Amino acid sequence: MYTNTIENIVYLIKIPLNIHAFLRCLNFPSLIGLCGFMALNFTANADDGTPTGLIQSLSGKDASSWAGPQPYGVNLGGWAASGINYNTANPTDRSNGPVSMTDRAGEFHLYQMNLFIEKAVVKDTTWDVGGRFDFMFGTDTRYTQATGHWDTELISQRDLRFYDIALPQAYVEVFAPIGNGLSGKFGHFYGIIGYESVPSPLNFFSSHSYSFKSSPFTATGALFSYALDDQWSLNLGAVTGADNFARDLGAMSHTSGLTWTNAKTGTTVSFSVLQGDVYKNQGSDLVYYSAILQQNLGKWHYVLQHDRGTQQNAIAQGQNAEWYSVVQYLTYQVADTWGLGVRGEWFRDHNGVRYLAGAAN
């Protein structure tokens, strides 16, 4: 079952069928990856009250009772993900570029070590206030940081080379019992665009698609969520652009999304968009949308995603960028702790700006 939180994940070894054949027109490599994943949680399972997490699984003790803030509704937790991949092109500099995140060939790395503290809002008949703060260390942080003097200079690259620190989430959330329930996030948080996510526990594959690398990861501002009924939900927000904290605050963007879910058929369809200027004093309008279809078929899960992005004056005045893609995922849940999956992607860098490799598929 796919959820929007990571609190119910226990621990597992991720060994998906993680083989990607990239088109040879850019001499992109083929990668075979192996990833290990471990989650640590001090919270109780929200579904049945049974404590979950690595500590409880190994010791048989209720780890949720060890955390002092837990009686106040504050959860502490985290996870770690590490791995190694093999590049058939055997690059001399060991770079898998333009692949992001799992970008080092033949080297074992800690991709993410993430710790968080969270007070989830209770969506009931009364007002409630919560929030969340995430701290991340590892090689993935270089792609997760936000511009604008937030988390880009916390440690020196000279000291840790490929490792860094990111603070991907720091927000306050307010729930208002208006209509079916209105919630709002205020601060720095993960965006709503795309199927894949930065947090490793929510992804089947350890590597990522080109669409994911080209999409916004985080946003800063305000994001409101409202359930129209049992099937339709709406997101609407005003943010400081894609992966930006405080650079050019006058260059604001809007982000919105609409989701339809049919629990009887196991079908989910969503459409989300981000639009606004990247820079305050020049024309730099960025428009990025993502349309996603998800279908559950017993132990099978199928995803079809289409993304498209455009940006004015992406690198220099008059040099625009356009890119678009189609990605498909098919996974099979063999057991509670492991499964099989395959991913296929067609990506078009129409102006050769996004990856600086010339116009190509």
Tell which wins on pLDDT, 321 or 342: 342
Per-residue pLDDT for 344 more than 70? Answer: yes
Q: Is residue 20 part of a domain?
A: yes
CA distances from 186 to 33, 66, 181, 351 (A): 37, 30, 17, 35
Q: pTM for this one? A: 0.82
Per-residue pLDDT for 271 more than 50? Answer: yes
Give the chain's domain count.
1
Q: Looking at residues 74-81, what average pLDDT do you find?
A: 91
Q: Is residue 329 part of a domain?
A: yes
pLDDT for the residue numbered 34: 59
CA distances from 193 to 63, 173, 211, 213, 269 (A): 34, 19, 11, 12, 13
pLDDT for the residue numbered 64: 55
Q: How would you classify residue 124: left for phi > 0, otherwise alpha for psi between -120 and 50, otherwise beta?
A: beta
Query: Tokens 């306050």 map to which residue?
Result: 172
Summarize pLDDT for 217-240 with one digit per residue, the tens.
Answer: 999 999 999 999 999 999 999 999
Q: Is residue 143 part of a domain?
A: yes
Q: Is residue 360 part of a domain?
A: no
20 falls in which pLDDT band (50, 70, 90)?
very low
Summarize pLDDT for 96-112 with one digit per residue, the tens.
Answer: 878 788 888 889 999 99
Q: Is residue 189 part of a domain?
A: yes
Q: Looking at residues 55-82, what average pLDDT do you find?
A: 73
- The set of residues, in sequence order, having a beta carbon less than 8 Å from that of 337 and lying 6+ positions away, is 12, 13
Summarize pLDDT for 56-67 with one digit per residue, the tens.
Answer: 666 666 555 565
pLDDT for the residue numbered 21: 36
Q: Looking at residues 203-214, what average pLDDT do you find?
A: 91
CB 322 within 8 A of CB 352: no
Highest mean pLDDT: which range of 36-45, 149-158, 236-245, 350-359: 236-245
pLDDT for the residue numbered 59: 67
Bridge pairing between strands 300-311 and 321-332 = antiparallel
Domain housing 302: 11-349
Q: Is residue 301 part of a domain?
A: yes
For the chain, the C-alpha Rg in angstroms (whole number) is 20
Q: Is residue 238 part of a domain?
A: yes
Q: Is residue 6 part of a domain?
A: no
Q: What are phi and psi of 280, to 5 degrees?
A: -75, -40
Q: What is the CATH number of the domain that holds 106?
A: 2.40.160
Structure-block tokens of residue 282: 């020049």
